[in-house]
């Protein structure tokens, strides 16, 4: 029996963008649902989409307000923001409101598809809570708290391990500086503390810390751990 195609809800008020996404996603086996405004997008949640692609510049509802509304109604559904707004403050706000990723227009279809796959893998990981995470040469046993790079054990400080654990639990998702600071220190707001620990962690888990393969920087926004291939 063939599995039902994954449903992707595209929310964008530009017909050419919707057409481009409909054609690109359909050829990859996705079932595409479309909404041209916030009101119809909320109604389309009744179709139970597996992933949402959201443009923030809609005619009837503020994009960030709609994002918060979608996240409250569909807590487990990955949301990828696809927007012409490239300002860092807007990106950070969208990610803090629950977006799984943020891509600016113009965009490449291959990159969008890769980000979608990462968001869907993260959703499955959260639901399954796999005890051992593996990507490339890096493995993290969340039960026994064992970290390996290839066959070599990696010794981490408690704070370094906490940072890695949070990244693993959200692998494939962009985590903002604010989110990570709140998770790790509660009362700290200076992202420099976070940068220091990310640099230390990269020295231990990256094959080449100057060209990281696993802990990726989203400039001005935060960090993302590469999802398993």
CATH number for the domain that contains residue 192: 1.10.10.10
The per-residue pLDDT of the chain, averaged, comes to 89
Q: How far apart are CA 41 and CA 12, in angstroms?
A: 9
Q: Are both 11 and 110 inside the same structural domain?
A: yes
Q: Is residue 32 part of a domain?
A: yes
Q: How far apart are CA 10 and CA 41, in angstroms?
A: 8
Q: Which residues contact 140 (CB under 8 A, 6 or more apart)?
A: 132, 133, 134, 146, 147, 164, 165, 168
Number of domains present in the structure of the chain = 2
Q: What is the pLDDT of residue 4?
A: 61
Residue ranges making up the domain that contains 198 = 130-225
Task: Output the CA angle 103-105-108, nearest 5 degrees.
Answer: 75
Residue with tokens 């503020």: 62
Q: Is residue 214 part of a domain?
A: yes
Q: What is the pLDDT of residue 127?
A: 56
Q: Is residue 38 part of a domain?
A: yes
191-198, long-range: CB < 8 A, 24+ apart: 197/159, 197/160, 197/163, 198/163, 198/223
Q: Are both 86 and 114 inside the same structural domain?
A: yes
What is the pLDDT confidence band of residue 160, given thresholds at 50, 70 and 90?
very high
Q: Is residue 2 part of a domain?
A: no
Are 221 and 176 spatial neighbours (Cβ–Cβ below 8 Å)?
yes
Q: Are both 110 and 24 inside the same structural domain?
A: yes
Residue 85 has pLDDT above 70, yes or no: yes
Residue 79 has pLDDT above 90, yes or no: yes
Q: What is the pLDDT of residue 88?
A: 85
Q: Which residues contact 46 (CB under 8 A, 6 or more apart)?
A: none
What is the pLDDT confidence band of residue 56, given thresholds at 50, 70 and 90?
very high
Range from 54-68, 118-132, 202-216 carrying the lowest mean pLDDT: 118-132
Q: Are both 157 and 121 inside the same structural domain?
A: no
Average pLDDT, stretch 63-85? 91
Q: Please give the order of strands across the beta sheet that includes 215-218.
A: 175-176, 222-225, 215-218
Residue 80 has pLDDT above 90, yes or no: yes
Q: Which of 102, 127, 152 is the last residue of a domain?
A: 127
Q: Which of 108, 127, 146 is the last residue of a domain?
A: 127
Q: Are both 113 and 188 inside the same structural domain?
A: no
Higher pLDDT: 224 or 83? It is 224
Average pLDDT, stretch 134-154? 88
Chain CA centroid to CA 122, Å: 8
Tell whether pTM > 0.75.
no
Q: How far apart are CA 82 and CA 8, in angstroms?
A: 13
């Amino acid at each position: 029996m063939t599995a039902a195609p994954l449903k992707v809800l595209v929310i964008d008020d530009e017909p050419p963008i919707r057409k481009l996404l409909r054609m690109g996603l359909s050829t990859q086996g996705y079932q595409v649902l479309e909404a041209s405004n916030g009101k119809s997008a909320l109604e389309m949640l009744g179709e139970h989409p597996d992933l949402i692609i959201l443009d923030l510049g809609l005619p009837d509802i503020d994009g960030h307000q709609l994002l918060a509304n979608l996240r409250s109604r569909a807590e487990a559904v990955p949301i990828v923001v696809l927007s012409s707004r490239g300002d860092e403050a807007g990106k950070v706000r969208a990610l803090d409101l629950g977006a799984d990723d943020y891509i600016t227009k113009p965009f490449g279809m291959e990159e969008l598809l890769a980000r979608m796959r990462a968001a869907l893998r993260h959703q499955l990981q959260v639901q399954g809570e796999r005890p051992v995470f593996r990507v490339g040469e890096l493995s993290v046993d969340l039960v026994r708290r064992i970290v390996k790079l290839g066959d070599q054990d990696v010794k981490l400080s408690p704070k370094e391990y906490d940072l890695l654990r949070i990244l693993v639990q959200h692998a494939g998702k962009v985590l903002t500086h604010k989110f990570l600071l709140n998770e790790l220190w509660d009362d700290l707001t200076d992202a420099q503390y976070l940068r220091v620990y990310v640099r230390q962690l990269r020295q231990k888990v990256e094959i080449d810390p100057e060209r990281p393969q696993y802990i990726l920087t989203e400039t001005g926004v935060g960090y993302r751990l590469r999802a398993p291939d």
